[in-house]
A and B are shown apart, each in its own frame.
Chain A
């Protein structure tokens, strides 16, 4: 159909979704978007994204003490640093775009992380689980947030906001590569 509608390069994936053995996101097309209000300005979007990154940072920083696996502990430590790096990049972007001296205003008491789940619930779930189960949870959360950031970037109309979500999506892609690499070693 698309090839007759002026699309130059169209492919059908052989075997459809059943042939796909890679990562899948779950939920409706608009899942998770409610966190980012339709009319939010891009400084607000940065601030909201910063909160999600902070939740993920807190989640990963708690995992090494709950998962008895040296490799996983090392990776979670790297992801803490990666989330901090994202937060710094978001703060820098915020300062650059607003001309403010400081990063996004702090929002205290938020119990949410990337993937849209509560940090406290994710940590409660992790307790007593195997390393592969924890890695699978992390992969699931990161896949959903990768999916969300791609869709948010597409939805945004101004370049600054697109830039924010593009940066976040490429960060999630990197995290996923690391988590999946370790998961494949552990199963």
Chain B
């Protein structure tokens, strides 16, 4: 990954759009990734979200299905 990749614009979804997607689809039809730290996750996370702190994300991408829409927060 190049340093330039850090500055690429990532498409966004509003919280409302995320809620609609979660209501419409089954939990196995999308990846929901919480990139915060464990303590923050423990205090509250979106139901079904996987905890993948940002510093572990790249080495754990194999746990996610690349074909599914992926929402990170």
Contacts and interface: CB of A to CB of B under 8 A. Distances in A.
A159 B48 CA distance: 19
B45 A9 contact: no
A53 interface: no
A16 B18 CA distance: 11
Contacts, number: 128
Q: Kindly name the residue among A6, A7, A8, A28 whose own CB sees the greatest number of chain B CB atoms within 10 A.
A: A7
Interface string B7-43: 0101111110011000000111000011010101111
A2 interface: yes
B11 A28 contact: no
Nearest to A10: B70
B18 to A, nearest CB: 5
Interface stretch (A17-25, A35-43, A74-82, A88-96): A17-25
A86 B54 CA distance: 38
Chain A interface size band reads: 35 or more
Contact of A166 (B28, B38, B44, B66): B28
Given A13-B12, A19-B15, A147-B48, A166 B26 contact: yes
Given A5-B61, A27-B42, A16 B47 contact: no
A13 to B, nearest CB: 4
Interface in A130-185: 143, 146-147, 150-151, 153-154, 166, 169-170
Contacts of A17: 34, 36, 40, 44-46, 73
Nearest to A151: B48
Q: Which of A5, A27, A151 has the most CB of B within 10 A?
A: A5
A65 interface: no
Contacts of B34: 17
14 contacts: A5-B1, A10-B70, A11-B10, A11-B12, A11-B13, A12-B73, A14-B12, A14-B14, A17-B36, A17-B44, A25-B45, A26-B43, A150-B27, A169-B27
Interface of A: 1-17, 19-29, 143, 146-147, 150-151, 153-154, 166, 169-170
Interface of B: 1, 5, 8, 10-15, 18-19, 26-28, 33-34, 36, 38, 40-51, 54, 57-58, 61, 64, 66-73
